């Protein structure tokens, strides 16, 4: 449990290199960080901010015996990642060296191991980051492809924070004037017109709509786009799934009903992750296992971003209803055996035997993704539900203010709605975020971040 009152403790974390060897970094943050290493570091007197000092670590139990060679870097508050004094000790990555040094340091008064996310939490408390930027640190760590990395980077540079500041400004302007009107209403001063207030609020709502619209894409950037192979049994779903993956992941036979459960694997296209989902062929069945498989196929189709709707000369197309935003790609399979006369225009004809159409299918998928990526390229986009909920609250409050203006209600009603809208934005940046939510956010980080 992260606690803002425990900021005086010095926290410690270690980043360990994989396997044996390499360099491990022990990181301390807190006002005592430098003092704590005094008995163990022979070149302690040489430490100065932002300089790496080479030296020897004295054996914690047997003084005067050299324990390891190390490089110590000292960052003086407030010019450090957490805003507190930070000391980083780079040592050899051997298991014994690391655990010995760590246990000795942790035994010093008011030193303890850091909780997950506690370094970033301190950076947030010291005002180095607002909450929306701090969240992007977790996204950066979890980024698994070019697109999610680029998005997290942009937000770490404060892209979302800038959008929120701009929105706050858009709301504050009418609010200040409306409150001034409240204060001086008896003095018959000419204030700006109602329509100017309305325009400012409508502008803010439009900006929020744009951000809310980006959530679907933002979520996919981090979780991957779900591409579901759907169709009747035996149309060649698993074969095409294997083809796109480049490995024999799903079992293929000529027995209809071979795939019983959904199978997932990922590929990378245009710097984005695509989660390919092979499903059981859809048909009426009495057989229990297959029945559950078919139900799963239907659920996968409902949550898909892209459905590949497969049919062949001997298996006609499925008639499925899709959620509104689903992209559907019709594919005729087994083109090497026979082609059906097509009444649909947009069908990709493929054969996994001759590879006909396979590159067209890849290009089609790439163009869907790149179109989305280009649409949101320049704007900040939302990536988590918490942000989305706060923007929705803000929008509801702004819509209330607009309604109050239209209904010519008293200015105090409009002002109260605008304050509520500002509060929703302050929750996003962490100014008014409750402690339990802060904890939930920072717990997602790993130790040492
Ligand atoms: N000639 C030819 N045969 C294919 C092609 N694609 C798939 N097949 C064959 O069609 C049969 C069924 O393929 P699967 O990939 O198992 O079909 P499925 O749609 O996954 O079937 P279920 O799992 O039963 O729903 C297998 O014998 C495949 O070898 C193709 O492009 N050309
Ligand atoms: Mg199959």
Handedness of CA 194, 195, 196, 201 (dihedral sign): positive
User: Looking at ligand 1, which atom is closest to the CA of residue 255?
Assistant: 24
Q: Is the dihedral of CA 217, 219, 225, 228 positive or negative?
A: negative
Q: Rounded to 5 degrees, what are φ and ψ at 204?
A: -65, -40
445/63 Cα distance (integer angstroms): 37
Q: Is 195 helix (H, G, I), strand (E, B) or coil?
A: helix
Cα distance between residue 158 and residue 240, in whole Å: 42
User: From ligand 1's centre to the CA of 327, what distance in Å?
Assistant: 23
Q: Helix, strand, or coil here: 355?
A: coil
C-alpha distances (whole Å) from 36 to each of 31, 108, 142 are 10, 7, 32
Ligand nearest to the CA of 256: 1
Q: Say what the pLDDT of residue 336 is.
A: 94
The per-residue pLDDT for 345 is 66
pLDDT at 283: 82
* Extended beta strands in 333-394, E state: 347-349
pTM exceeds 0.85 for this model: no
Tell me the CA–centroid distance for residue 50 and ligand 1, in Å: 63
Residue 269: which of 364, 366, 358 has the closest Cα?
366
Residues in contact with ligand 1 by the CB-under-6-Å rule are 231, 233-239, 252-254, 256-259, 280-281, 333-334, 336-337, 351-353
Check residue 304 and give its pLDDT: 93
The closest residue, in CA terms, to atom 26 on ligand 1 is 254
Place of tokens 């396997």: 19
Whose CA is closest to atom 14 on ligand 1? Answer: 236
136-219+384-429 matches 224-376 in fold? no
Residue 420 has a pLDDT of 94
Residue nearest atom 13 of ligand 1, based on CA coordinates: 236
Cβ count within 10 A of residue 320: 16
Which residues of the chain, if any, have pLDDT below 50? Answer: 189
What's the pLDDT score for residue 344?
66
Map residue 14 onto helix, strand or coil: strand
Domain 224-376, CATH homologous superfamily name and number: P-loop containing nucleotide triphosphate hydrolases (3.40.50.300)
CATH of span 136-219+384-429: 1.20.120.430
Q: Which ligand is nearest to the CA of 255?
A: 1
Each domain of the chain, given as residue ranges in start order, spans 4-130, 136-219+384-429, 224-376
The CA 44 to ligand 2 mean position distance, Å, reads 66
Whole-number Å distance, alpha carbon 243 to ligand 2 midpoint, is: 13
Cβ atoms of 343 and 265 closer than 8 Å: no
| Closest ligand to the CA of 335 | 1
- Report the candidate in 316, 321, 238 with the shortest Cα–Cα distance to residue 283: 316
Read off φ and ψ for residue 30, nearest 5 degrees: 145, 165
User: Which residues 6+ apart lie within 8 Å of 90 measured at CB?
Assistant: 23, 24, 25, 70, 71, 72, 73
**Ligand 1 atom showing the smallest separation from residue 256 Cα:** 24
Residue 78: asked if its preceding bond is cis (omega within 30°), the reply is yes
CATH class of 4-130: alpha beta
Which residues face 267 on adjacent strands? 274
Q: Ligand 1 test: best mutation among 238, 261, 284, most atoms within 8 Å of CB? A: 238
Q: How far is the CA of 289 from the centre of ligand 2 (A)?
A: 14
Alpha helices in 143-268 (DSSP H): 146-156, 159-183, 194-223, 237-245
How far, in Å, is the centroid of ligand 1 from the Cα of 312?
10
Ligand 1 atom with minimal separation from the 241 CA: 15
Q: What is the pLDDT of residue 214?
A: 86
Ligand 1 center to 238 CA (angstroms): 7
Return the C-alpha torsion angle 111, 113, 119, 120, nearest 10: -140
- Secondary structure class of 354 (helix, strand, coil): coil
300: left (phi > 0), else alpha (psi -120 to 50), else beta?
Answer: alpha
Over residues 138-171, the pLDDT tens digits come to 888 888 888 888 888 887 788 888 889 899 999 9
């Amino acid at each position: 449990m992260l606690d803002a009152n425990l900021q005086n403790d010095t926290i410690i974390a270690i980043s360990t290199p994989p396997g044996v060897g390499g360099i491990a970094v022990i990181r301390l943050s807190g006002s005592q960080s430098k003092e704590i290493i005094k008995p163990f570091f022979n070149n302690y007197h040489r430490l100065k901010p932002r300089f790496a000092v080479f030296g020897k670590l004295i054996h914690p139990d047997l003084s005067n015996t050299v324990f390891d060679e190390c490089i110590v870097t000292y960052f003086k508050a407030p010019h450090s990642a957490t805003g507190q004094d930070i000391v980083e000790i780079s040592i050899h990555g051997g298991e014994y060296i690391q655990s010995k040094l760590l246990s000795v340091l942790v035994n010093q008064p008011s030193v303890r191991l850091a909780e997950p996310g506690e370094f970033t939490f301190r950076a947030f408390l010291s005002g180095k980051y607002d909450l929306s930027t701090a969240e992007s640190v977790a996204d950066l760590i979890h980024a698994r492809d070019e697109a999610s990395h680029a998005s997290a980077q942009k937000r770490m540079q404060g892209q979302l924070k800038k959008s929120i500041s701009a929105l706050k400004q858009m709301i504050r302007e009418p609010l200040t004037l409306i409150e001034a009107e409240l204060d001086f209403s008896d003095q018959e001063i000419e204030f700006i017109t109602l329509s100017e207030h309305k325009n400012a609020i409508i502008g803010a709502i439009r900006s929020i709509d744009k951000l809310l619209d980006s959530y679907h894409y933002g979520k996919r950037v981090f979780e991957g786009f779900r591409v579901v192979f759907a169709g009747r049994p035996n149309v060649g779903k698993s074969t095409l799934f294997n083809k796109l993956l480049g490995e024999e992941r799903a079992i293929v036979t000529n027995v209809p009903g071979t795939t019983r459960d959904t199978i997932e694997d990922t590929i990378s296209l245009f710097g984005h992750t695509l989660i390919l989902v092979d499903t059981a062929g859809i048909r009426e069945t009495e057989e229990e296992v297959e029945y559950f498989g078919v139900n799963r196929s239907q659920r996968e189709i409902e949550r898909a971003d892209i459905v590949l709707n497969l049919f062949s000369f001997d298996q006609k197309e499925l008639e499925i209803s899709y959620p509104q935003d689903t992209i559907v790609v019709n594919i005729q399979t087994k083109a090497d055996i026979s082609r059906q006369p097509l009444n649909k225009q947009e069908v990709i004809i493929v054969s996994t035997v001759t590879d006909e159409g396979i590159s067209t299918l890849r290009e089609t998928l790439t163009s869907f993704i790149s179109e989305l990526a280009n649409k949101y390229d320049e704007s900040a986009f939302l990536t988590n539900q918490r942000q989305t909920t706060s923007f929705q609250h803000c929008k509801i409050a702004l819509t209330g203010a607009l309604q109050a203006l239209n209904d010519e209600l008293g200015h105090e009603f409009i002002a109260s709605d605008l304050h509520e809208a500002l509060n929703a934005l302050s929750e996003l940046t962490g100014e008014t975020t409750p402690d339990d939510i802060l904890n939930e956010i920072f717990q997602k980080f790993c130790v040492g971040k």
